[in-house]
Structure 1
Amino acid sequence: MHSPSSQRRRPSGPTSPVEFAMAFTSTPRGARLARLFVAHCLDTWGHPYTGDVNETLTLITAELCANAVRHGRVPGRDFHVRLAAEADGGRLRLEVSDTRGEHRPAVATPADPGAESESGRGLLLVAALADTWGVTDRRGGPGKTVWAVVDTAPSSRPGARP
């Protein structure tokens, strides 16, 4: 695991953009640490561990990082996680980048993974939990970035508690 490339808070109150970005080793341990760091950042940004926003983004992080480690791994190359809040705090964007551009994820239909299959459902969860998600070419290097955006308004979260 590498040290944080940035964790910034700009002065002037809650309307300031906030960002966390870090590189992690392309291992299951790296994926687990990324999930923990994202949950911690969200908690410090006012989205408590047991809140809907934190739980949703932590699950999305776990799925995207697991995919980066399993399908995007290049020996000796890290994967990168970036979490950013919009200036008004109304939406959060998570990005997970790896160096394998030729393996683009696609959402399977719920019937695609067999009932006995141990994998193939991660992007179904991401698609169900995120307000929007997608894949882009990785900025500044080879590979891809899989991103997800979550609206932080309580009424917009699926299954949100009042």
Structure 2
Amino acid sequence: MAEGVSLGKGAWDCDTGREIPADKEAEVFEEIGTMDLPFEGIPTVPPRKDRSHLVFFCGGCRYRVTAAPDWTVARVKQALWGGGIQRANKPAERRATPGLQKWEDLAFIYAGEVLADDEKTMAEYHVPPGCQCLIAIERAKLESGRPDPDSAYWN
């Protein structure tokens, strides 16, 4: 991606600090169907083998980062920050919040739960190794109360 992040598009490898090309995303995220475990003759995506990376959705982009279950939430936030997740910031004139200025501005959500304690490990929040369905969001947005917690926005 040349500039910014488009909603619903793109992926970023925080370990290399580079975009994951669109034609490589399915391979990198292990989303290629095979006949290893077919369903009624239809290829399915087999269980993932990569247990050393977590994947976060933030600002319409996927961010892949090396992380282990025994890492603290703070350590994962720092790895994402160092890898470039602040790219998800909208331009300052289009933001209603301060944006991501430092790693502490990040908040994580997994299985509907906010991972609120930075000193707890990912395992203590029951995040499995290789999980690819985490949310990273600006803490100020999460704490603003908008949209309403019961809004369809969160579904």
> Same fold per TM (> 0.5)?
no
Using the size of structure 1 for normalisation, the TM-score is: 0.30
Using the size of structure 2 for normalisation, the TM-score is: 0.31
Is the helix fraction higher in 1 or 2?
1
Structure of higher RCO (CA pairs closer than 8 Å, 6+ residues apart): 2
Determine which structure has more spread, i.e. the larger CA radius of gyration. 2
